[in-house]
Amino acid sequence: MNNIAVLISTFDDSEDLWSTLEQTYLKFWKDLKLPVYLSTNHKKFNGVMFNSLQIGNEISWSDNLIKSLLKINQDYILLTFDDLFLTAKVDNKVIEEMMRYSIDNDFNYLQFYRSISKGKRVSNLFFKKNNKTVYKNSTIWSFWKKEILLNLLIKDESAWEFERKGNYRSFVFDDFYSTRKNIIPFVNGVVKGVWNPLAKNKLQSLGLNVSNVRKSLGKIDTFKYKIRDLQFDLYTYILHKIY
């Protein structure tokens, strides 16, 4: 596993999240043996597991990611975000086996998350995405050949633009896969720059320290996002039962 690194996409204005995020890794993924990098701009996080890359001035999400990838020597990247907080024990053995399998079988991409993309079941564990489908290049818990990810990135795009425009660029590449169930237990803590209070309460109930400098969603918006998440879970459950 020496050729793999974990990259957490972040920037200096999200500094209030880093300590809580690392707490979740120390609590739920302490047997993670891979180097873990934070794509910070100028600030350095003095953590136990996380290493700051300090890539310089903020231009765009994609530019930050390109600069980060070029600083990392490993050829495979598990990409995640600063607001995806672990909530239960991660099965590190399963993750390692899946990454090793994807490398041995020349996958370009493997998403450790049940996909909304159309495709076909190739085993009880894996689902192959169609070449031309929505969210083919989804970044949530995505395991990449670094060269493929670099090929798809354009430096002035936001993360949302990458998932929309980069999705079309990904059509030229085959061998994009997802798992048939969610492998990594997590909660998306921040929505449009503010806390989802349900996620914040969950983290606090797990005994984690959470900074209060960031505002939280109101009750109506919280309810809307909860409904959206339930709809997504139901849709992907049905999709992976059918295909």
pLDDT of residue 26: 98
Residue of 91, 113, 96, 135 lying closest to 6 (CA atoms): 96
The full set of domain ranges for the chain reads 4-242
> Which tokens in the block code for residue 17?
């999240």
pLDDT of residue 232: 74
Give just the sign of the alpha carbon dihedral 204, 208, 209, 210.
negative
Helical H segments across the chain, by residue range: 15-28, 61-71, 92-104, 146-152, 159-169, 197-205, 219-242
**In the predicted model, what is the mean pLDDT of residues 45-69?**
95
- Cβ distance 2 to 196 under 8 Å? no
Fold entry, domain 4-242: Spore Coat Polysaccharide Biosynthesis Protein SpsA; Chain A (3.90.550)
Max mean pLDDT range (85-89, 114-118, 211-215): 85-89
Rg of the chain on CA atoms, in Å: 17
pLDDT per position as a tens digit, 170-188: 999 999 999 999 999 999 9
- Cβ distance 37 to 6 under 8 Å? yes
- pLDDT band of residue 219 (cuts 50, 70, 90) is confident
b/e burial code for range 7-45 (CB count within 10 A of at least 16 → b): bbbbbeebbebbbbbbbbbbebbeebebbbbbbbbeeeb
d(CA 85, CA 184): 10
**In the predicted model, what is the mean pLDDT of residues 86-92?**
98
- pTM equals 0.94
pLDDT of residue 230: 79
- pLDDT band of residue 112 (cuts 50, 70, 90) is very high
pLDDT of residue 33: 94
pLDDT of residue 211: 94
